[in-house]
Amino acid sequence: MENFYKGNGTSITTFTLLGFGNDPKLQIPFFMVFVIIYTMTVVGNIIIITLVVSDHHLHTPMYYFLGNLSCLETCYSSTVLPRMLTSFLTGDRTISIGGCFTQFFWFGTLAIAECYLLADMSYDRYLAICKPLHYATLMNGELCFLLSAGSWLCGITVMSIVVSLMSQLYYCGPSEIDHFLCELTPVIILSCSDTTMVTLVVHILSVINAVSFFLTLSSYVYIISTILRIPSSTGRKKAFSTCSSHLIVVSIFYGSLIFVYVLPKKDALWEVDKIFSVFYSVLTPLINPLIYSLRNKEVKEALRRAIKKCKVLE
């Protein structure tokens, strides 16, 4: 990462992530909490990926997308938590500018990809509930692959543009980021150069990427209206059960994102913003496999079959 000199300031080579403070008494408790969360997140999502791949009962579009989501969540939490855990143990909160941009690139890529993947999953549920007779024809293997690949490609494309613009900015101090990860706004405000172009491009890309949210929202408007028209209560309950887990995940993910990125910023709410950032960046990848495993009958049955096979092999 090339650094520059600007004005009377000396270019810097590292940032300092302030995280949750530097109270020595809290570092070990924080480490224990987050290492448990990270372990459960990785194990839970890998179990879902394994079940989706190995159990032929789960070889359907819905679980294809779920496997992709679990893979994404594993990578998502891995962009944040290992670095955070290291800082709790060593007390070293510094991160190189290049390392900061790398973390931001992958974190942003995976967050955007998740937005589009959740939209893909909502479209899948829309076809299953609103157009059941045409579902098998419309939601075929080729479309599933294109939708999931498109989700990852959108994230990579957007973040390549943003990070390339950020890398052209000058950083001459201060170097402290009041966050536990390299986020856009805290990094931008440290720049000593004009950030108008970066801010404008980010706003334009944010508006474009909002399409994923509105696609998800519109899908559920149609889904709910269709479910309400089902005459029997048993039919309504069965139809809603097929998308309830995904709806909970969407609500948690977008709810925290809206609080952090959409609501007006006030200094008094900055600490609250950090808490909600923990929610969507750390807790959501943990909650997702729990929701899908505890509320999804097919996943629980697949897990039982896998356990039985393991016992037989013993």
- Sheet order of strands, 94-96 included: 94-96, 14-17, 176-177
Q: What are phi and psi of 242, to 5 degrees?
A: -75, -15
192 occurs within a structural domain: yes
Q: What are phi and psi of 16, to 5 degrees?
A: -120, 120
157 occurs within a structural domain: yes
Task: Quote the pLDDT of residue 57.
Answer: 86
Residue 264: domain span: 14-313
* Percent of the chain topping pLDDT 70: 92
The pLDDT tens digits of the residues spanning 30-81 come to: 899 999 999 999 999 999 999 999 988 889 998 999 999 999 999 989 998 9
State yes or no: pLDDT of 313 exceeds 70.
Answer: no
State yes or no: pLDDT of 184 exceeds 80.
Answer: yes
Cα separation, 165 vs 160, in Å, equals 9
223 occurs within a structural domain: yes
State yes or no: pLDDT of 4 exceeds 60.
Answer: no
**Beta carbons of 77 and 157 less than 8 angstroms apart:** no
C-alpha dihedral, 80 to 84 to 85 to 89, nearest 10°: 160
Task: Quote the pLDDT of residue 43.
Answer: 92
Task: Quote the pLDDT of residue 170.
Answer: 86
248 occurs within a structural domain: yes
36 occurs within a structural domain: yes
Q: Please report, for the domain that includes residue 137, its CATH number.
A: 1.20.1070.10
Q: Which of 23-27, 36-40, 93-97, 226-230 has the lowest mean pLDDT?
A: 23-27
Written as one string, the DSSP assignment of 5-20 is -BTTBPP-SEEEE-TT
Task: Quote the pLDDT of residue 306.
Answer: 83
Task: Quote the pLDDT of residue 265.
Answer: 59
How do strand 14-17 and strand 94-96 relate by DSSP bridges?
antiparallel
Residues 6+ positions from 146 with CB-CB distance below 8 Å = none
pTM, two decimal places: 0.88
Per-residue tokens: 59: 């070889």
6 occurs within a structural domain: no
4 occurs within a structural domain: no
- Given pLDDT bands bounded at 50, 70 and 90, which one contains residue 91? confident
**Beta carbons of 226 and 243 less than 8 angstroms apart:** no
273 occurs within a structural domain: yes
Count up the domains in the chain and report the number.
1
Residue 130: closest CA among 206, 262, 230: 230
**Rg for the chain (alpha carbons), in Å?**
22
State yes or no: pLDDT of 2 exceeds 60.
Answer: no
- Given pLDDT bands bounded at 50, 70 and 90, which one contains residue 180? confident
* Percent of the chain topping pLDDT 90: 34
